[in-house]
Structure 1
Amino acid sequence: MNLNDRQRKLLFAGLVVLLALVGVYLTVAAPDGDSGDADDRPSAAATVPAGPTGPASPPPGIQSPVKPGDFDLYRLLPFSQQEFATAADLAQRFVAAYGTYRFDEDPKVYVGRLTGMVTDGLRGEIERGATSPGIQDDRRQKQIVAQGTATLDRVRDIEDNSIIFLVTGKQQVTKGGAAGDDSKQYAVTVARDGGSLKVYAFQPADTGQAGDTGDPG
């Protein structure tokens, strides 16, 4: 079909109007950009688990030339020097307290000593382990008494909200009157929990744990 210039211009204008009407129709007919059953599927935001609160502000960074004799490492970290020291102290105290118990002690007293150091989730895991009949029977039968201490070894990893420490727990253990020593290295994750720092997870270090789950051992 041969069209003159006027006819081609009219045809082009008609197509433009038609496309505009189609766009308006699609916008009105589907304002949510999806089909009617979209509410039956969880959104991506709903499936993201709650986590520790992030830092109030990013690290200040360093703009001036770096001087080896005057280098402030904490300007590059998401934790201040005070927070780092608090987290390290917490990891060390937790491992020492975790390794201290008696066969004739109420397990609720043992768990109570750890409560202020750990998140609610980890507290539940520790409580289930400490109150299990098998562990309690074994400690009573062998009359186990353990006194724990801990040594900070090194930092395994640092994230925006957490620090993973490698901590060696040492125990002086008495079983049936016989004394002995025991030690084990743990990966201990200390994370922001609201306005404080808490032990979020821990596990034997040789499992390659990244600090995201807890295991009361």
Structure 2
Amino acid sequence: MNLSDRQRKLVFGGLVVVLAAVGVYLTVAAPDHDSGADPAPSARPTATPTGPTGPASPPPGIATPVSPGGFDIYRLLPFSQAEFGTAADLAQRFTAAYGTFRFDEDPKTYIGRLAPMVTGELRAELERGATAPGLIEDRRQQQTVATGGATLDRVRDIEDNSVIFLVTGKQEVTEGGKKTQKSEQYAVTVARDGGSLKVYSFAPADAGQQGDTG
């Protein structure tokens, strides 16, 4: 079939338009594997949670009408009554032990008393403080002897894996032959650590701290 110049130009123009449309379609429809873009949300791998993720057995909840006289608050909390008792005892014992030391005692012995009650991270922090040369020398010069005690004041906060107690540490301190009484309130965070409860962090109460470990 013989085409005039005008007809050939029209056919050529039509082919260009068709090819351009096909190119646009392929560019939009085909997945871009080399662009570095994120995959669709449904294709992204699920992040693996790290650390504690909550109580092993969630509170069962209460579906029946609540009786004020027989209300069991532990059914709504992430810790059982026994766990709360264990955590409170630990916070009190740790604070008392923290405040008990003497100038002629090896710092390793002091840390050895605290170690079973704390996490590995907190133990490292306590050890760095107790073995500071300046502190050791000052206690030796003053012949410091301290006997600690503690009172539980209240619960500051409760999270899925931890509870923060406010505890007042009390000390009877002998320095240079003189006895004094000292006290300071601390925020003591007790958290789940594997299959047990350990002191996770410890700071003056007015400093504040984050309690949850998960």
- Scaled by the length of structure 1, the TM-score of the pair is 0.78
1:24 is displaced (CA, Å) by 5.8
Residue of structure 1 in register with 2:31 after alignment: 26
Deviation at 1:97, TM superposition (A): 0.3
Q: Which position in structure 2 is the counterpart of 1:133?
A: 133
Cα pair 1:188 1:199 within 8 Å, conserved = yes
- What's the offset of the Cα at 1:59? 1.1
Structure 1 residue 123 and structure 2 residue 127: aligned?
A: no
Which runs of structure 2 are paired with 1:1-217 in the superposition (5 Å)?
19=25, 25-26=30-31, 29=33, 33-34=37-38, 45=47, 50-211=50-211
Q: Which runs of 5+ in 1 are unaligned?
A: 1-14, 36-42
Distance (Å, rounded) in 2 between the aligned partners of 1:55 and 1:212: 12
Identical columns (%): 69
- Give per-residue Cα distances to partners, 1:47-98, cap 9 Å, x unaligned: x8x5335211321111111101100000000011111111111000000000
Check the 8 A contact 2:160/2:212 in 1, yes or no: no
Structure 2 unaligned spans of 5+: 1-20, 40-44
Give yes or no for contact 2:159–2:212 (8 Å, CA) kept in 1.
no
Given that residues 190 and 201 in structure 2 are in contact (C-alpha distance below 8 angstroms), is that contact kept between their aligned partners in structure 1? yes
What is the alpha-carbon distance in structure 2 between the residues aligned to residue 212 and residue 161 of structure 1? 6
Q: TM-score of the superposition, structure 2-length normalised? A: 0.79
Whole-angstrom distance in 1 between the partners of 2:183 and 2:57: 39
CA deviation map 1:157-191 (0-9, x unaligned): 00011000000000011112111110000000001
Looking at structure 1, the residues matched to 79 and 67 of structure 2 have their Cα atoms a distance apart, in angstroms, of: 21
Query: Against the structure 1 CA distance between its residues 54 and 117, is the aligned structure 2 distance closer, same or farther, given a 3 Å change threshold?
Result: same
Task: Kindly tell me the number of residue pairs found equivalent between the two proteins.
Answer: 189
Distance in 1 separating the partners of 2:183 and 2:52: 30
Alpha-carbon RMSD across the aligned residues, in angstroms, is: 2.9
In 2, the alpha carbon distance for the partners of 1:31 and 1:61 equals 49
